[in-house]
A and B are shown apart, each in its own frame.
Chain A
C-alpha cells in the first residue's frame, strides 16, 4: 500500500458542517479519502451519515467548513464532479415502469453516454450483478435484493471513480445482503473507491479498510475495523443473561469480577475480559447461574457501545 502522503486524495473535508435550521446534522468533521480504499461511516440512524453522503454527492451544499471532491469545489463544479461519481441511494430510485435494461439506458443518457456505449456497458454490468437473464423484465416485480443489485449496476454506468453507497443493504434479507457484499468486494478488488454508510457492524467489518464511528454529527473514533476493536474493546466478550427477576442483583455482583468493563443492557450483561471462559467459570463458582452465556470476540458493535453508550441499531 502507498504511504498516505503519496496516495491520491479524492475527497478532503475540513471542519465540514451541515445544519438544518437550529439542528446540526454534521458537526465539523475532518477526513481524507484516498483512491482505491473503502471508507465507511458507521453509526446509528440520525448520526449525520446520510447528510455527509449527500454533501459528498454534491447535492447538498455544506453549511460550513471545506470540502473538495476530485480536487474541485462541490458547489461550483457539482455537475462535473457528479459525472465522475456513482451513487447508490438509501432508497431505490429505479423507474418501476421501465425494464431493467431501460433503467440503465435512461441513466446512461443522463451522463450523456452514446447509446452504443450504454448498450455495451449494460451487458457487462448486468452480468456483473447477475441480472442478465432479467434484462427485459420490468423492475416493479423484482425482489428487494435484485432491485438493489440493479441500482448498483446503474450507479456504475458512467464508470465512476468514487462509488457512494448509503446503507447499501438496509432492508435486505441475509442472503441478499451477502450477494451485495460479494459484488461490492469485487468492485473494491477492481480498484473502485468506495464510500459507504452502514449501521451494520458486520457490513463495516467485511467491506471497509478504514472507518469512522459517527455519532451526533461527530466522529467518535477512526481507524481500521481491527484497530478500532483492539483499541476500544477487550480480546473477548462474555455475554450472560439472567432471569429478569435477578438481573439487577446479578449485574451488581458482576461488577466485582475483574472485567475491563461491564455493560448492563436491558436483557443481558456484557463483560469485557481477556479470557471469557475463565471469567464464566469464576461467575459460576460464585453462585451466579446465568440462563444463557456466550463467549465471543469483540466486535465493532462493542466499540460503538463503548464510545457512545448506545447500541447501533437502537
Chain B
C-alpha cells in the first residue's frame, strides 16, 4: 500500500485542541454577549440591594451576633457571589450542553474535525469558566459599590467563587451530555439548585437549621463555596487556614472528578 499515512500530520496537543473549541465559543458568544450581560448586571444589583438594604436593616436591629457580628449586607453579599457562581455554572453547563447535541448541534459539527470528545468538553468548559469569571467579577463590583466588603482579603474571594462555579460546572456538564430529554434539567433546577441556594448558609447562618439538616448542609458544595467566599470577604480566613484549605480541597476534588467523568461521558455520547 502506498504511504498515504506519511502525509498525515502529527496530532496537535490536547490543550491546543481544547483551546480551538474555546475560541469558537467566543466567536459565537461575540454575537450574543450584549443580551447576556444585562441579566448578569441586574441580578446581583437586585439581590444584594433588596437583601442588604431591604431585609438587612430589619435583621440588624435584632442583633448580628449569629452573623458573626457583621451587618446582614456584609453577611449575605459573599453568599450571593458564591451562589451566583453556582447559578451561572448551572445555566452554562445544562441547556447549552444539551443544545450542542440536539439544537444547534455544535458538538456534532465539531466532532468531524480533529477535536476529540474530551477536547470538545474541555473547550466548552473553558468557555463556562470564562462566563463564571465574568459574572463573579460583576458581582464583586456590585459588592464593592454597595459597601458590602469588609477586608482586603476579598481579592481571594474572586478565585474562590470561580472555583465554586467550576466545581458545579464540571459534574453538571458531564451529566448533561448524557441527558436524553430536556425536562431532566427542570428537576435539577428545582430539587438541587433551589434547596442548595436556600439552605447552604446563604441567607441565614447554618446555626438556624435543625442539627440533622445542619450536618447535611455542611457537606453540600455550595456551603463550602459560601463559607470560603464569606471568610475572605469578611477577613476571617486567616484565623482558620486549615478550614479554608479544606473548603478549597473539597471544591477542587469535585471539579476534578467532573473533569475526569466528563471526558468519559462525552466520549460515550459522541463516539457511538
Contact = CB atoms under 8 A, between A and B. Distances in A.
A80 B24 contact: no
A61 interface: yes
B116 A79 contact: yes
Given A80-B9, A97-B32, A71 B4 contact: yes
A223 interface: no
Contacts of A187: none
B5 A59 contact: no
B28 A70 contact: no
B236 interface: no
How many chain A residues sit at the interface, stated as a range, is: 35 or more
A12 B5 CA distance: 13
A9 B10 contact: no
B95 to A, nearest CB: 15
Tell me what chain A mostly uses at the interface: helix, strand, loop, or mixed. Answer: loop
A295 to B, nearest CB: 45
B271 interface: yes
Nearest to B117: A59
A67 to B, nearest CB: 14
B24 A106 contact: yes
B136 to A, nearest CB: 26
Contacts of B2: 8-9
Interface stretch (B57-65, B105-113, B223-231): B105-113
Given A110-B113, A110-B115, A93 B108 contact: yes
Q: Which among B27, B105, B108, B114 has the highest number of chain A CB atoms within 10 Å?
A: B114
Interface of B: 1-5, 7-12, 16-17, 20-21, 23-24, 27-28, 31-32, 104-106, 108-116, 270-272
25 contacts: A57-B112, A59-B270, A59-B271, A70-B4, A70-B5, A71-B1, A71-B8, A77-B11, A79-B114, A79-B116, A80-B10, A82-B114, A91-B105, A94-B109, A95-B106, A95-B109, A98-B31, A102-B27, A109-B20, A110-B21, A110-B115, A111-B114, A112-B12, A161-B4, A161-B7
